[in-house]
Amino acid sequence: MPDLSLAARTRLERGRHARTLRRGGQVPAVVYGRDLPAQSISTDAAALLRVWERAGRTHLIDLAVDGTAPRKVLFRDFQIDPRTAHPLHADFLAVNLLERLIVEVPVIPVGQAPAVTSLKLGVLQQVVSSLRVEALPADLPAHLEVDVSGLVEVDQAVRVRDVALPAKVQLAGHLDPDEVIAKVAPVRVAAEEEAAPAAEAAPAEPVAAETEE
């Protein structure tokens, strides 16, 4: 993926002014790093959303503030209103390209599990959706893949040790290599497990919390 770029300006307004910014199509944000004190900025909402959809948390972005030379940054946090899908706030981490980082990366099952597709023995359940990895900023993967094409029986699973790691990337933390990433569950058991959290959840309408900067 080619480098992504985003323009921003220094933001002097605070508190309730964030609402005014959003009404004007701008989003309050903060950029910071080890050698960079936190700086309040704002950027165009539409441009920010486009960059987020392409970059996620692992792709480097060229962030230019007030027309200055761009810095390499990563999304550290991104808040979206669940009702309107409009961005509310973003945090950017200015990175040192020679310093390794630890980030959370999505895990994506690839291939087709015969126990699910042809044998119809069960359904594929993903138990772990992301893993923490360590790498230089330029080597961070957009996602990790785990092959499920070898799952031919109920309760058969793919585990942390089966995750395909790109070159120069390693898992961070003390992970159990036998931890289950995805497994084949009997249809009835899978349905019961999915229904239980729904039954316990309160039927309240979610309310987006606006970040005041």
Rg of the chain taking only CA atoms, in angstroms? 21
pLDDT of residue 44: 98
pLDDT in tens, 37-55: 999 999 999 999 999 999 9
pLDDT in tens, 7-29: 999 998 766 788 889 999 999 99
User: Which of 176, 185, 105 lies closest to 145, judged by CA?
Assistant: 105
Give the DSSP H or E segment for 114: helix 114-117
Structural domains of the chain, ranges and CATH numbers in brackets: 4-94 (2.40.240.10), 101-199 (2.170.120.20)
Average pLDDT, the chain: 89
pLDDT of residue 12: 85
